[in-house]
Homo-oligomer: A and B are copies of this chain.
Amino acid sequence: MKVKELGEQKILEKIVKELPSHLLGDDCAPIPFGNYYILTTVDGIHEDTDIPPGMTYYEAGWYSCASSLSDIAAKGGFPISVLASVFVSEDFDVENILSFLKGVDECASLFGAKLDGGDLNFGEKFSADVFVMGITEKKSYVSRSGARPGDVIIVTGTFGTPSGVLKKILGGESVPNKLREKLMKPRPRVWEGVVLTSLGIITASIDSSDGLYESLKTISKDSEVALVVDYDSIPKDEWLVTNFSSEEVFNHVFFGGGEYELVMTSKPEILDRIEEIREDLEIDITVVGEVKEGRGVYVKKDEKIMEVKGRGWEHFRRH
């Protein structure tokens, strides 16, 4: 069967089924090592599917690294080391390879890691993989499957802006630089992940690379619970709300992706500490909903509750 007939999600399910490993199927592979888990993750980037018009190679490197760091962040890990493997054609400009690697290195450097190695290969078009290794204490490790009814749902940052920005850029419109950077140069929530998981009350954690809905759906599925979010509570940038129709905003928020924010569930004790976390720890978190018995992702909006269905970012089907 062809890739386009099955789609990314079903292919990944098939891989997990046919190559059984308890480590496959989370953001990172957690490798036990004494009192620690070493966390490893990789994200690929391809010129045709992942590099929007106007993104520089420096930004593409930053973006790739941020995307992998975000997976480490979701597990409460510190990044330790970064490798990058690059595929380029014979006619590719060498300076662009260097720009890409500098983007990778400088994003990693924000969090104390560095680009430590990699590989250089032939490819018709530019593509690359950025591999990040991190570490977390076993007692801080949070999977996607620990959400329980009665928990609350918390998120960092805002949602919808990166895909709103992409929409405008693809339509040839200009976007304020600060917002453009939310798409092109996202800041992975490494510090936030380390601090929040160390509280000992986070029950499930994932990043929102593929869209808020996809993150919530994954926690719902892996934890066997229903997640109910209050639409008005979800943080949205003013720019998004004023530049799109309310239906478009809804779609960007749930299905847009590219935020690289954290989506977590927590024991309700966190409610007493939200102000402390926001003010003393300077972590921009918001409570957006609660965990219930059942399955699925629901949204409270205009005094109604409806089930959200659809799909976040998926390779091959959207392409």
Which residues in chain A, 83-105, are within 8 Å of chain B measured between CB atoms? 83-95, 97-98, 101-102, 105
* Set B23, B81, B101, B116: member contacting A117, Cβ < 8 A: B23
Q: Give the shortest distance, in Å, between A207 (CB) and chain B (any CB).
A: 14
Q: Give the shortest distance, in Å, between A6 (CB) and chain B (any CB).
A: 5
Number of interface residues of A (CB under 8 A): 70
Provide the residues of chain B in CB contact with A94, threshold 8 Å.
1-3, 6, 11, 14
Are B88 and A3 within 8 A (Cβ)?
Answer: yes
In the complex, the chain B residue whose C-beta lies closest to that of A84 is B42
Instruction: Indicate whether A121 sits within 8 Å of B44 (C-beta atoms), given known contacts A18-B98, A23-B114, A133-B38.
Output: yes
Are B121 and A45 within 8 A (Cβ)?
Answer: yes
Are A316 and B122 within 8 A (Cβ)?
Answer: yes
Provide the residues of chain B in CB contact with A90, threshold 8 Å.
2-4, 316, 319
Identical chains bound together, number: 2
Are A38 and B129 within 8 A (Cβ)?
Answer: no
Instruction: Indicate whether A123 sits within 8 Å of B3 (C-beta atoms), given known contacts A11-B94, A41-B83, A97-B15.
Output: no
In the complex, the chain B residue whose C-beta lies closest to that of A131 is B131
Taken together as a complex, chains A and B put the C-alpha atoms of A71 and B11 apart, in Å, by 30
Which residues in chain A, 64-84, are within 8 Å of chain B measured between CB atoms? 80-81, 83-84
Are B85 and A129 within 8 A (Cβ)?
Answer: yes
At the interface, yes or no: A115 with Cβ under 8 Å from chain B? yes
Are B41 and A117 within 8 A (Cβ)?
Answer: yes
Which residues in chain A, 198-230, are within 8 Å of chain B measured between CB atoms? none
At the interface, yes or no: A125 with Cβ under 8 Å from chain B? yes
Taken together as a complex, chains A and B put the C-alpha atoms of A29 and B95 apart, in Å, by 24
Taken together as a complex, chains A and B put the C-alpha atoms of A249 and B83 apart, in Å, by 36
Provide the residues of chain B in CB contact with A122, threshold 8 Å.
46, 48-49, 315-316, 319
| Besides the known contacts A4-B91, A42-B119, A44-B85, 11 further A-B residue pairs in the complex with CB atoms under 8 A apart | A6-B94, A23-B116, A24-B117, A40-B83, A41-B83, A42-B118, A44-B87, A44-B119, A44-B129, A46-B123, A129-B129
* 30 A-B residue pairs with CB within 8 Å: A1-B93, A2-B91, A3-B90, A3-B93, A8-B120, A11-B94, A11-B97, A19-B115, A21-B114, A21-B115, A23-B81, A24-B116, A26-B117, A29-B116, A31-B80, A31-B81, A38-B38, A40-B83, A40-B133, A42-B84, A42-B117, A42-B119, A44-B119, A45-B121, A46-B122, A46-B123, A48-B122, A50-B121, A120-B315, A123-B127
Lowest 6 CB-CB distances: which A-B pairs, in order? A29-B116, A44-B121, A4-B90, A23-B116, A29-B117, A129-B129
